[in-house]
Amino acid sequence: MLILGVDTSGKNGSIALVRCEAESVQPLEVVPLQGGTFSAQLIPQIAVLLSQHDLTKRDVDAFAVVSGPGSFTGLRVGLAAIKALAEILQKPIAAVSLLEVIAFEASLAAHFSRNGDEGAPLLAAFARSGREFLVALDAGRNEVFVREYKSGPKFPSAVSESLLTLDELAEHARKSRESIFTPDESVMQNLSSRSGTSDALNVIRVDRPNAVSVARLGYRKILAGQTVSPEQLDATYVRRADAEIKQPNRTPA
């Protein structure tokens, strides 16, 4: 199965062609996309990528795309492109959360020996330990997208998902004693400034996944029948609960 993976959720993005067969996942190539120009780059870069491997768009068997959380404009560009391609080609789509991709990569690192950034072995250890941990992404305006995970026999399962201020995340991590894994330097720095001497936060930097990781998780979802039609594909955003939004006198971070 040839999968085209797409991530346009962040300041920068990527596309990748990945050949998936049984337990074998072989990246053919990953191409970075420069932030701010996704709408001009995406379709031409996909065409170039396919051409370089003597392929056409009809050789693609399925699509995997990040549907959130992230930049509103960036997500819309990526999703619109995949909607159009999947509708024309009548091929399945796997929509994935970037938070989910980070946790999924941790589960793979827990089962296979892999070289990576400093935080990867620690995240892998949490993924197989049965303990709960947090994955956080910068949401801007002193807020973070957060998913709480509990490791399972094969893959971590999401316990909760929320949009928190940095102060709220720090308070939650202190109370729960859960480690925070993030690919964002801004989150690292902001949380470090909120760490006290007696209750220091355990914040660990991991690599931000690229489109290869998106395709890898997408393949698992496709095998499990977890696909969406072009009409169903839409951006997913992590929002505060209505009760929290309506709270009066909420102090911003």
What is the layout of strands, in order, in the sheet containing 180-182? Answer: 157-165, 143-150, 132-140, 180-182, 203-205
Cα gap 78→90, rounded to integer Å: 17
Q: What is the pLDDT of residue 244?
A: 45
Helix axes 166-176, 185-192, angle to 10 degrees: 70
Per-residue pLDDT reduced to its tens digit, 8-51: 999 999 999 999 998 789 999 999 998 888 999 999 999 999 99
The structure tokens listed for 54 are 């003597």
Question: What pLDDT, on a 0 to 100 scale, did the predictor assign at position 236?
Answer: 85
Instruction: Point out which residues pair with 16 in neighbouring strands.
Output: 5, 30
Cβ partners under 8 Å of residue 151, min gap 6 = 107, 110, 126, 127, 128, 129, 130, 131, 133, 157
Tell me the pLDDT tens digit for each residue of 152-204.
Answer: 666 778 888 899 999 999 999 999 988 898 999 999 999 988 876 446 788 88
Residues in contact with 123: Cβ distance below 8 Å, sequence separation at least 6, in sequence order: 102, 106, 109, 133, 181, 204, 206
Helical (H) or strand (E) element with 55:
none
Q: How confident is the model at residue 245 (pLDDT cuts 50, 70, 90)?
A: very low
List the one residue out of 240, 252, 233 whose CA is nearest residue 84: 233
Helix (H) or strand (E) holding 143: strand 143-150
First to last CA, the chain: 46
Nearest residue to 213 via CA among 58, 74, 108: 108
What domains are defined for the chain?
2-97+209-223 (3.30.420.40), 99-205 (3.30.420.200)
- Cα–Cα distances in Å, from 216 out to 41, 75, 138? 23, 19, 23
Nearest one of 51, 40, 49 to 18, comparing CA atoms: 49
Q: Which residues contact 121 (CB under 8 A, 6 or more apart)?
A: 109
pTM confidence score: 0.85
The confidence score (pLDDT) of residue 241 equals 47
pLDDT of 52 strictly over 60: yes
**In residues, how long is the chain?**
253
- 8-17, 71-80, 113-122, 130-139: the lowest-pLDDT one: 113-122
115/51 Cα distance (integer angstroms):
31
Classify strands 62-68 and 143-150 as parallel, antiparallel or unpaired.
Answer: unpaired
97 in Cβ contact with 235 (< 8 Å) = no
